[in-house]
């Protein structure tokens, strides 16, 4: 659950701290007060993509931090994969810094991480229901997701996915072999030419780099020899000046003449230094002596480099990738040359793979059909409770072509009024009916997924009166098994909250600020009265608001 949220410099929020309750939380306030900014901030701390425009005007950086507790086992496992463990109280802290320069940062329990890692973890922390979810519910191709959650058919889905991948992989290989003889002959000639060209080049990994260094030495040969001769002069000197050897020898003579017993070690060190200088001189002279190259050797080096470069550019831009291409070309040539035999083997494998796919598909379909029965009844019960008394809800499952999600065409059908036949949800559901349908489904799958916190941003769209009261009860009921946070404009929903936060906008010194306040009982009554009747509060509206709160506690 989301225990605590701290926001700095997000839009018109300069600084705000929100401590949420474990049950049912609501956010209310005038239109434009900044309720959506709270949702944007939560999205940011969940790793979702953000834009620089979200940072408060005149601020260089923005910060959102959150503390999550009562983590599910799935969430703890996901964290452990990234080497992150909850603290001694079972909590994790998430901090995201946004910057105008783009140099933001994300930390989980102080550990620097990426947005992708945060998103991987966040899917076990919070589920935000807003307009996107409603649109998802309106698309039949997404309906299998809800049904599979109800079915709990992870094993069947994994087996089907593996069978579908095996079948499609084999079919792809067969298609690659099923070419006419002329195409095969052309491909064989091309592959043989490429293989011969690469093999004749006799590529060795690292050779290009060695040849480049060798060519660089050739190009700088005169300068190299000159510098090496100068190094010998620096060591040995000449008639007019002492080198390092002469100076070292003089130092040794002075120490020996001083005849200080305590400096015997120093004399030995100088003797060793002279020996090393002798060895170094011989190494340099030998290199100079051996450093003999001809015009032919230079040309040979350049020609070899040109050849390797032309081959590498053609087949992979590196020696490693060129050799990888050679291996693949050999494999493909062998596959084509022995294609008839391989084709027969693959066709036999395809028959077996198809049998496995059909079996796995049938088991997946069976799990969905079984789950659909109970799912239909539960959705109808939940919708009936939310004042859709004549509702019919059907999960329509038909056979379709095999795809990565199964062989089923799944679509939710609904009839909201008595005497009407069921039709696709996207064709007949009004805004209020769609909101209630989504809430019903969310309530049913709440104990099936691993998300601890549910946020509803637009659940009251198109709802009022008695239906709003029923939705409030449903949300309060849902908060018994999951933390619920709801942005609402309805007094009935706000009255059912256990934690009520007021979002207010104010102007000070020409700047706009949004404040978030946890309301006490008296202030709650006033806010709900405002929602019911606007700014003109009377004793009657205050009394009605108090009565509404009292009824919601029953």
pLDDT for 130: 67
209 falls within a domain: yes
pLDDT per residue over 517-541, tens digit each? 999 999 999 999 998 887 778 888 8
Number of helical H runs and strand E runs in the chain: 20, 15
- The structure tokens 């109280």 sit at 89
pLDDT for 356: 96
For residue 342, pLDDT beyond 70:
yes
Is the Cα torsion angle 439, 440, 441, 443 positive or negative in sign?
positive
404 falls within a domain: no
pLDDT for 554: 58
* E strand or H helix at 6: strand 2-10
Domain end residue (candidates: 358, 391, 412): 358
Domain end residue (candidates: 331, 358, 385): 358
> How many domains does the chain contain in total?
2
Round to whole Å and give the CA distance between 157 and 150. Answer: 13
pLDDT per residue over 271-297, tens digit each? 888 889 889 988 888 887 777 666 777
For residue 378, pLDDT beyond 80:
yes
Taking all residues of the chain, what is their mean pLDDT, rounded to a whole number? 87
Round to whole Å and give the CA distance between 375 and 444. Answer: 8
289 falls within a domain: yes
Tokens of 203: 């590529």
In this prediction, residues 386-408 reach a mean pLDDT of 92
> Quick one: CA torsion of 32, 34, 35, 36, rounded to 10 degrees?
90
Confidence band of 135 (pLDDT split at 50, 70, 90): low
pLDDT for 132: 59
Of residues 295 and 41, the one with the higher pLDDT is 41
**Helices 319-337 and 339-385 sit at what angle, rounded to 10 degrees?**
100
For residue 234, pLDDT beyond 60:
yes
Tokens of 368: 């969905």
For residue 456, pLDDT beyond 60:
yes
Choose the weakest-confidence range: 63-72, 375-384, 406-415, 453-462. 453-462
Confidence band of 133 (pLDDT split at 50, 70, 90): low
pLDDT for 451: 84
Of residues 353 and 130, the one with the higher pLDDT is 353
pLDDT for 264: 79
Tokens of 210: 């060695």
The phi and psi torsions of 103 (rounded to 5 degrees) equal: -90, 65
Domain end residue (candidates: 358, 373, 392): 358
Query: Is the pTM of the predicted complex or chain greater than 0.85?
Result: no
pLDDT for 418: 83
pLDDT for 190: 92
For residue 43, pLDDT beyond 80:
yes
pLDDT for 180: 64
Query: Beta strand 61-68 with 2-10: parallel, antiparallel or unpaired?
Result: antiparallel
pLDDT for 524: 93
333 falls within a domain: yes
Ranges 351-360, 438-447, 455-464, 489-498, most confident: 351-360
184 falls within a domain: yes
Tokens of 35: 């309720």
Tokens of 243: 């080198």
Contact yes or no for 514/505 (Cβ under 8 A)? yes
Residues 6+ apart with CB under 8 A from 149: 445, 448, 449
In this prediction, residues 107-125 reach a mean pLDDT of 90
Compute the half-sphere exposure of residue 180: CA atoms within 13 Å on the CB side of its CA. 2
pLDDT for 93: 94
Query: Beta strand 483-487 with 499-508: parallel, antiparallel or unpaired?
Result: unpaired
Beta bridge partners of 406: 403
* DSSP assignments along 362-431, one per residue: HHHHHHHHHHHHHHHHHHHHHHHHTT-TT-EEEEEEEEEEEETTEEEEEEEEEE-STTPPPEEHHHH--H
pLDDT for 293: 67
In this prediction, residues 188-196 reach a mean pLDDT of 92
For residue 131, pLDDT beyond 60:
no
Round to whole Å and give the CA distance between 190 and 314. Answer: 14
pLDDT for 170: 93
318 falls within a domain: yes
Q: Give the other-Cβ count within 10 Å of 71's Cβ.
A: 21
Q: Range of 526's domain?
A: 520-554
Q: Helix, strand or coil for residue 145?
A: helix
pLDDT for 17: 92
pLDDT for 290: 73
CA distances from 495 to 218, 432, 467, 486, 532 (A): 87, 19, 14, 12, 11
530 falls within a domain: yes
* E strand or H helix at 500: strand 499-508
Beta bridge partners of 518: 501
For residue 369, pLDDT beyond 80:
yes
Round to whole Å and give the CA distance between 395 and 413. Answer: 6
For residue 20, pLDDT beyond 90:
yes
How many residues does this entry show for the chain? 554
183 falls within a domain: yes
Contact yes or no for 368/148 (Cβ under 8 A)? yes
Our measurement of the distance from residue 208's CA atom to the centroid of its chain's CA atoms, rounded to an integer in Å, reads 38
pLDDT per residue over 306-317, tens digit each? 999 999 989 988
Q: Helix, strand or coil for residue 18?
A: strand
In this prediction, residues 313-326 reach a mean pLDDT of 90
Candidates 397, 418, 419, 416; CA nearest to 408 is 397
* E strand or H helix at 506: strand 499-508
Choose the weakest-confidence range: 179-183, 334-338, 425-429, 489-493. 179-183
> Quick one: CA torsion of 337, 343, 345, 346, rounded to 10 degrees?
130
In this prediction, residues 454-474 reach a mean pLDDT of 83
Q: What percentage of residues in the chain have a pLDDT greater than 70?
A: 97
């Amino acid at each position: 659950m989301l225990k605590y949220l701290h926001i700095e410099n997000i839009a018109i929020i300069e600084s705000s701290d929100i401590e949420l309750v474990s049950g049912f939380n609501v956010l209310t306030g005038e239109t434009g007060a900044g309720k959506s900014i709270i949702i944007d901030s939560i999205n940011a701390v969940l790793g979702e993509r953000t834009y620089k425009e979200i940072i408060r005007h005149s601020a260089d950086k923005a910060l959102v931090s959150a503390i999550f507790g009562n983590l599910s086992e799935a969430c703890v496992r996901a964290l452990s994969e990234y080497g992150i463990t909850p603290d001694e109280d079972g909590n994790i802290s998430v901090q995201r810094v946004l910057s105008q320069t783009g140099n933001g940062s994300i930390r989980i329990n102080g550990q620097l991480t990426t947005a992708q890692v945060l998103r991987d973890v966040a899917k076990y922390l919070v589920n935000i229901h807003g307009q996107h979810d409603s649109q998802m519910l309106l698309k039949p191709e997404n309906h299998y997701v809800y049904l599979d959650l109800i079915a709990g058919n992870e094993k069947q889905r994994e087996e089907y996915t593996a069978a579908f991948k095996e079948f499609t992989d084999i079919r792809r290989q067969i298609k690659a072999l099923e070419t006419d003889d002329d195409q095969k002959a052309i491909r064989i000639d091309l592959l043989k030419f490429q293989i011969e060209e690469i093999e004749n080049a006799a590529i060795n990994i690292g050779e290009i780099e060695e040849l480049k260094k060798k060519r660089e030495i050739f190009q700088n040969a005169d300068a190299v020899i000159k510098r090496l001769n100068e190094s010998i002069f620096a060591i040995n000197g000449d008639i007019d000046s002492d080198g390092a050897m002469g100076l070292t020898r003089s130092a040794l003579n002075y120490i020996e003449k001083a005849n200080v017993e305590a400096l015997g070690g120093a004399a030995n060190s100088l003797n060793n230094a002279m020996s090393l200088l002798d060895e170094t001189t011989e190494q340099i002279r030998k290199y100079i002596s051996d450093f003999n190259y001809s015009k032919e050797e230079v040309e040979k080096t350049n020609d070899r480099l040109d050849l390797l470069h032309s081959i590498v550019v053609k087949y992979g831009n590196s020696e490693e990738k060129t050799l990888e291409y050679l291996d693949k070309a050999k494999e493909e040539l062998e596959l084509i040359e022995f294609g008839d035999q391989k084709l027969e083997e693959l066709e036999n494998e395809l028959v077996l793979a198809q049998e496995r796919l059909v079996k796995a598909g049938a088991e997946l379909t069976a799990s969905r059909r079984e789950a659909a029965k109970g799912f239909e009844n539960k959705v109808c019960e939940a919708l009936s409770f939310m004042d859709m008394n004549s509702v019919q809800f059907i999960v329509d499952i038909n056979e379709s072509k095999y795809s990565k999600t199964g062989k089923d065409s799944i679509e939710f059908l609904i009839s909201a009024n008595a005497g009407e036949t069921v039709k696709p949800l996207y064709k007949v559901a009004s805004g209020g009916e769609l909101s209630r349908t989504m809430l019903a489904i969310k309530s049913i799958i709440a104990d099936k997924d691993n998300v601890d916190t549910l946020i509803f941003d637009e659940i009251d769209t198109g709802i009022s009166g008695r239906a709003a009261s029923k939705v409030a009860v449903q949300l309060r009921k849902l908060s018994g098994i999951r933390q619920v946070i709801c942005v609402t404009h309805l007094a009935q929903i706000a009255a059912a909250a256990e934690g009520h936060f007021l979002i207010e906008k104010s102007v000070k010194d020409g700047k706009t600020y949004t404040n978030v306040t946890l309301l006490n009982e008296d202030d709650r009554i006033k806010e709900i009265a405002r929602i019911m009747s606007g700014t003109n509060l009377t004793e009657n509206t205050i009394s009605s608001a108090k009565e509404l709160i009292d009824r919601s506690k029953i």
